[in-house]
Structure 1
Amino acid sequence: MGLTSDKVLALAVLSGVLLFAGTVWLWPRLGRRSVRAVLGRVGLLLATQVAVFAAVGLAANQAFGFYGSWADLFGREDGQGVVVDHSAGGGGPLKVVGERRVTPAGAGRPEVAGRVQEIQVVGRTTRIASPAYVYLPPEYFQAAHRARTFPAAVVLTGYPGTASALVDKLRYPRTAHDLAGAGRMRPMILVMLRPTVAPPRDTECVDVPGGPQTESFFAKDLPEAVSSHYRVNKGRGSWGVVGNSTGGYCALKLAMHHPEVFGAGAGLSAYYDAPTDPTTGDLFQGDAETENRASLWWCLKNLPAPDTSLLVSSSKSGETNYRDTVKFIDLVKEREPTRISSIILESGGHNFNTWRREIPATLEWLSGRIGGRS
């Protein structure tokens, strides 16, 4: 049973309940001062606390999608298989390995509800391999639009994150489907994955000297692979990018560094400089240029202002990035032709509930700022 299995969570909860009841039932019998009785009390208390802690941890992981598997949890996920699509019309290093419905089970055909496809993609130049989910809107399958191309956006989780959380927890496909159906945004292809392309390392979307070329993967290889397989708009700035937390930082950086690819970038609860800690290791290897480019503050002050649109979000109460976000907005205002927008909530923590409140407006904003030919 997998880490995110409902059965594992139910088993942990049941174990906690049974151990608690057993402790209450057996406590009088273990009230003596013998070594056996003392060890029995310690054992019951320890087992109960472990079971309760496990249940709470599993429930939190289910809600926030921190880890996708036991190997991911214990830092043993390091496999990076190379997948090349040999099917007719594939044309690139991308393979569809699964499919799921956007709406609840039995609720529609692709031309009505769209589809989410699970893919494996490998970068042509970086050789980075990563799983992802691709949302295709209903129009993609409709005969009247069979020659139509669509705007596309990369959607990134935080660290460590799971790509499935973007589908199930943050509900990007369902939200995009509903907004487009209501005429509030254009039909759009979403490519959903986590920024952790070299697990368990957090590369912060940096081209690490002598290491994973993560920025190049997202800015060059991923759009190239997706465009070779799906009907994606062409032209300058025809892609968007959005993410939360670490993914938000990556989204802003990608849009600022690569405006020829990303016409817009949205950072939900983003930060503005790459941290270095035990999860990242030495990202820069003494390379000052790489370290400078990882700081959005440095980029705003020292590089030509990119012709792209940026969106940042925070809350006055509950987010630690509020002051930095206000400062970032003020700096971007002075850097034409870069354009800046924001979503500032009165209150909201660094969590899925807050981001779900921001995603509809973010997708509407993104839809109106991605260029290219359709």
Structure 2
Amino acid sequence: MRPMTRKAVKLLLIAATLGVAVAVFVRSRPRPGAPGAPGAPGAPGAPVADAAEPEPVRPVRHFPPRQAEPAPRAALSAGPSAPDGTRELPVVEAEAAPESPFAPVPPDAVAVPSGAASGVVEIDPDRLPPLPSAPEPSGAPAKRRRSQRVLGGVVAAFVVAAGAVSVLAYRAVDGGDDRAPAGAAVSASPSAAQPSGPPSFGPLAPQNFTAVGDRSGGSLSRITLDGRRSGVRADVWVWLPPQYKRSDFQTKKFPVLMLHSAYPGAGENSLLSGQASALSKIADGIARGTLPPFVVVAPELTPYAQAELDAAADPSVLDTECSDIPGKAKMATFHNEDVREAVAATFRVTNDRNGWALLGEGAGGLCAAKYALQYPQYYVAGASLSGPTTLKSPLWGAAQAARDGQSLKTLLAAHPDVSLFLSDNTSDTVGRQASNALKAAAAKPTDVETANAGGGTVKQLPSALSFLADTVTDSSGARPPTGTNGKSGNR
């Protein structure tokens, strides 16, 4: 049995309330046959018997003959003496009998039927006068009318109160009537489950980033962000280029470069101060004008504390692979919705997707390629340095359908309008083959470039930065929109 809909609950609630009101009203009315009730004998409006209907036979009551009442004894008293010495007896009248409540029986009501036993008298009940009713107490009709008015007022007040309760209950249940939420897709079949649309959180206020200090010529700040969409709590660092604080750039919007570090990525992002020295190379390119003045955003790769990673026998089994794994941390939502929202609410950055790009190494390289394909509405390009191209974390468990839906192969088949740069170590034969397979599967407007270099990510980084310089639009106007490989920076 399907559960009752909210509309059915509302109708049932209203019907029950009005039913109780009607029941109370009916209960308060005089019952038929009761004294004074409509239709009772003798009451106004009582039905009159049909004249043609035969009169029912009435029983005859038999009474024994009345016994002669003894004459009342006279009260004797000595009267005055007569002249002859005799006394006259006064005339004594009989004491009056108390008035009987019964009317005398008319003579025509008494009959001695022929053949009846001697001394038996029959009385016809139809000819007996009606018994006098008891006198009604003084003021009773007024009291009865007053009580009826009070009872009617109580019933009317109850009906009004019941209606008000029904309206309030209707509105309370109606708050979540069978309407799809804003942004939800509506199915053609009423019985089909309605997918939930994205929740509406309203605009986000500027966030309180704490200054960490100057680094590589720019200023670094940090925040522990509570993602209101993902529920993930993790640290986020933001690096502002020197131009950001210059007076001639106060009205400019800056492009953004998202950095994703190698696994596990707990604590400060490895690309900010690790062996690759990515931040110093980015600052150098900005100073020389070969890179746009990126605002660099570097969130933690995973939501784990270092102690939790240390307690795991194999920390790699906790890898979320930059995905929303069912039942696990929603890292994709955190990185691309919560972090982006916090940065856009706090800093002067462009909202144009052509001004946002991704760069990552190792597991962060998977993030850069995956997010560019998965969120083309947010990014124009992604560069991966020795990043894997398949999802195989034990955290997926039995959620194979969800894993397949977020795989690079599936995302690439949608042909998003983005550019990818996949770089591998020369010695990594498997990695290079996987990158070349993705390049072969790509179709316009998706653009995939591959490269390889010896010496790890330090050697791969210059080519990746050059690729980003050619694909990202610089809305700040800090450098000419031209690249080094013949592409325009204003895609």
Question: Which bracket does the TM-score occupy, shorter chain normalised?
Answer: 0.5 to 0.7
1:172 counterpart residue number: 278
| Partners of 1:131 and 1:217 in 2: CA distance | 11
Which of 360, 369, 375 is 1:258 aligned to?
375
Q: Take 1:233 and 1:368, find their aligned partners in 2: how far apart are those partners?
A: 17
Question: How far is the alpha carbon of 1:194 from its aligned partner?
Answer: 3.0
Helix, strand or coil at the partner of 2:353: coil
SS of the residue 1:321 aligns to:
helix
**Cα distance in 1 between the residues matched to 2:475 and 2:404:** 34
Q: Identify the range of structure 1 (94-103 vs 154-163) with the bigger mean alpha-carbon deviation.
A: 94-103
State the partner residue of 1:296.
408
Deviation at 1:320, TM superposition (A): 4.2
| Alpha-carbon separation, structure 2, partners of 1:273 and 1:370 | 26
* 1:43-89 deviation digits (Å, cap 9, x = unpaired): xxxxxxxxxxxxxxxxxxxxxxxxxxxxxxxxxxxxxxxxxxxxxxx
Distance 1:338 1:164 in 2: 29
Greater shift in the superposed pair: 137-146 or 361-370: 361-370
- Give yes or no for the alignment of 1:365 onto 2:467: yes
Q: Counterpart of 1:124?
A: 228
Alignment map for 1:81-120 (pairs within 5 Å): 91-92=205-206, 94-103=207-216, 113-120=217-224
Query: Which residue in the other structure is 1:307 paired with?
Result: 417
Provide the rounded CA distance (Å) in 1 between the counterparts of 2:280 and 2:426. 28
Residues 284 and 189 of structure 1, relative CA distance in 2, 3 Å threshold: farther
Q: CA deviation at 1:118?
A: 2.3
1:260 deviates by: 0.7
- Cα drift, residue 331 of structure 1: 1.8
Give the stretch that moved more between structures: 117-126 or 315-324: 315-324
1:179–1:319 CA distance, 2 compared to 1 (3 A): farther
Q: Is the 8 A contact 2:452 2:460 kept in 1?
A: no
1:343 to 421, 438, 451: 451
**In 2, distance between residues paired with 1:203 and 1:209?**
11
Q: Deviations over 1:167-192 (max 9, x none)?
A: 21232221111111111111101111
Tell me how far apart the structure 1 counterparts of residues 347 and 247 of structure 2 sit (CA, whole Å). 16
**Match of 1:159?**
263
Partner residue of 2:441 out of 331, 338, 349: 331
Decide which moves more: 237-246 or 226-235: 237-246
Q: What residue identity is the alignment partner of 2:435?
A: T
CA deviation string 1:251-309 (max 9, x = no partner): 111000111101111111011111123xxx2x264351x11123212333xx4200001
Q: Provide the TM-score with structure 1 as the length reference.
A: 0.65
CA distance in 1, matches of 2:231, 2:377: 22
Taking the TM superposition and a 5 Å limit, the aligned residue runs for 1:65-80 are none
Using the alignment, how far apart are the partners of 2:466 and 2:292 within structure 1?
A: 8
User: Structure 2 vs 1, CA of residues 284 and 141 (structure 1 numbering), >3 Å: closer, same or farther?
Assistant: farther
Tell me, yes or no, if the aligned pair for 1:237 and 1:260 is still in contact at 8 Å: no
CA-based RMSD:
2.2
More helix by share: 1
> What is the Cα deviation at residue 326 of structure 1?
1.9
| Contact 1:158 1:194 (C-alpha < 8 Å) held by counterparts | no
Superposed displacement of residue 319, structure 1:
5.8
User: Gapped runs of 5+ residues in structure 1?
Assistant: 1-89, 104-112, 349-353
Q: Percent identity?
A: 25
What is the TM-score normalised by the length of structure 2? 0.50
With over 3 angstroms needed to count, the CA separation of the structure-2 counterparts of 1:184 and 1:237, relative to structure 1, is closer
Q: List gaps (5 residues or longer) in structure 2.
A: 1-203, 310-317, 477-491
1:123–1:356 CA distance, 2 compared to 1 (3 A): same
Which of the pair has more CA radius of gyration?
A: 2
User: How far is 1:198 from its partner?
Assistant: 4.2
User: Is 1:286 aligned to 2:392, yes or no?
Assistant: no
Are the counterparts in 1 of residues 252 and 475 from structure 2 also a CA contact under 8 Å? no
Mean Cα deviation higher: 197-206 or 252-261: 197-206
Q: Whose RCO is larger (CA < 8 A, sep 6+)?
A: 1
Pick aligned residue for 1:194 from 300, 305, 316 = 300
Structure 2 contact 261–269 (Cα < 8 Å) conserved: no
Residue of structure 1 in register with 2:340 after alignment: 223
Letter paired with 2:221: Q
Q: Separation in 2 of the partners of 1:176 and 1:307? A: 25
How many Å apart are 1:148 and its aligned residue? 0.8
CA pair 163-343 structure 1, distance change in 2 beyond 3 A: farther
Distance in 1 (alpha carbons) for counterparts of 2:407 and 2:295: 29
Aligned partners of 1:257 and 1:130: how far apart in 2?
22
Distance 1:91 1:319 in 2: 48
In 2, Cα distance between the equivalents of 1:154 and 1:128? 18
> Which stretch of the first structure deviates more once superposed, 315-324 or 305-314?
315-324
| 1:214 aligns to 2:326 (yes or no) | no
